[in-house]
Amino acid sequence: MQAISSTVNAQGSRPTSAAQARTAGESAAAEGSSNELKPLRVARQNWNPDRNQQTADAQRTLDYLERMSSQLQQLKNTLSAQLASLRAAAASAQLAQQATNGSANGTADRQLQSLDDLWRQRELLTGGSLDSQLRFSAETPAKRRFSIRGLDSTALSSGDRETLSFSLGQNRSGPVTVTLEAGATLQDNVKKLDRALTPLGIGVSLNGAGETVFSTTETAWTQVRDALAIKGGGIRLPSGQPLRAKTEAQEEAITPAGWSTGDAAALRNTLQEVTQALEHVRRVAQQVRDTLERAKQSTAQAADAAWATAFAEEFGARAQQPDYEVYAAIAPALVSVNRSRVVSLLTLK
């Protein structure tokens, strides 16, 4: 402890051996630099796993949207050229031009097929983060929204008391039942259905237009569409044996399978659809970029905050250790610390 007392005297004034202590402190600090950085590395490695997965899904979705945008742009160029070619052919009526049109039709058809294939791979290539309406969700799986015949808002806002029984194939829990009371409001019946169908992975809500909307994950949609069965009480739905529900999915934002290049009118309609789809895809892609940028900033802030907390805890723990190297590293920093500096730091915003 004699060396320590020669570094910092009892009155806390500047010691005569400050230069020597500073040299020793710098040496000790250099040796401990890797340890001081350890909390920073740990903090940046201990990210929230859910956040990491969300960021990965967002990046995959952005890659997918950029591929979709590229293919839509190529198709738009082909269709525009083909329409121009048709106009030229109509003006000149040359057979050679008709042959060129046939070749262009083949190119457009191949591009349409490629685009449709890409659209059908949406769930796989985006990690289930992009739904059929091109809505991106970073925190919950993409949903497929649909309606069920006999359970629309009109039926749910009227009618006598009825018990409905829902089942979903042999591999899922069920059946589940819900009783719709006479005189109950539409909102009450929708809430009842939503609670009852949760075990089947189905949600129920009202959209902005007051229409009843059912939803399930994109992954579960095929099973819901093919296996959901309902037994009613003869009021809204038939009684007796459960019957397969008549579901109808909301129209998808992009429907390449329904686009055609058969004639000039079809080309113009398809070109309009492609142009609108391209604008839609680009808007969503920008939203995903914004999401990634916010996640990047949030992660950096969280990492810095975690590092500061870890460093402060480690610094305090080390300062309690009666070790010469610790005091030699701390003393030079404390020599020039005075009240005015501390106050200045605390008032920073």
Global confidence as pTM: 0.64
Give the tens place of pLDDT for each residue, 320-336: 776 666 666 666 656 66
| Token pair of 54 as six digits | 């969300």
Burial 148-162 (b: 16+ CB within 10 A, else e): bebbebebbbebeeb
Distance, C-alpha 92 to centroid of its chain: 52
Whole-number pLDDT of residue 10:
38
CATH second-level architecture of 143-249? Answer: Sandwich (2.60)
- Which region, left, alpha or beta, applies to residue 135 given φ > 0 means left and ψ of -120 to 50 means alpha? beta
Q: What is the pLDDT of residues 85-118, one digit of tens each?
A: 888 776 665 544 454 455 556 889 999 999 999 9
- Asked whether residue 125 carries a pLDDT value surpassing 70, the answer given is yes
pLDDT band at 170 (very low <50, low <70, confident <90, very high): low
The percent of residues in the chain predicted with pLDDT above 70, rounded, is 67
Query: What pLDDT, on a 0 to 100 scale, did the predictor assign at position 263?
Result: 86
Which sign does the torsion angle of CA 292, 296, 298, 303 carry?
positive
Residue type present at position 237: L
pLDDT single digits (tens) 2-51 = 443 333 343 444 444 444 544 544 554 444 444 544 444 444 444 455 66
**What digits encode the pLDDT tens for the residues 267-306?**
999 999 999 999 999 999 999 999 888 877 776 665 566 6
Q: CB count, 10 Å around CB of 320?
A: 8
Write down the domain spans for the chain. 1-7+19-134+260-349, 143-249
Cα separation, 169 vs 240, whole angstroms: 18
Residue 154 or 25, more confident: 154
Please give the average per-residue pLDDT across 161-172, as a whole number: 84
